[in-house]
Amino acid sequence: MKKLLLTLGVISTVAAAQADAKTVLTDANEDGMFSYEELLVSFPDLTADAFGAADTNGDGQLDADELKAAQAAGTIPA
């Protein structure tokens, strides 16, 4: 079982790297939104404050537009 999980981990990492070679953002639950926990995987230094500032509609998730705006503003690393 452990081996299977490791294999799945490698596959998803490779898939994410192919999707965006520059910054690897993983939408772990595939809901089309990035939660704070999901962004922490790519940006371990991201603070809850920065995430809150980027979450302009306050739903606790970043959609593609919010993420783009935050990266353009420098709130979240691109």
List residues binding Ca ion (CB under 5 A). 27, 29, 31, 33, 55, 57, 59, 66
Q: Which is nearer to Ca ion, 2 or 49 (CB)?
A: 49
Please state the φ and ψ torsions of residue 63, each to the nearest 5 degrees: -90, 180
Q: Looking at beta carbons only, is 3 or 30 nearer to Ca ion?
A: 30
| Alpha-carbon torsion, ordered 35, 36, 41, 43, to 10 deg | 130
We find the least distance from the C-beta atom of residue 36 to Ca ion, in angstroms, to be 10
CB of 68 to Ca ion, least distance (A): 12
Residues 67, 78 contacting (CB under 8 angstroms): no
Q: Looking at beta carbons only, is 33 or 40 nearer to Ca ion?
A: 33
Least distance to Ca ion, CB of residue 26, Å: 9
Q: 30: left (phi > 0), else alpha (psi -120 to 50), else beta?
A: left
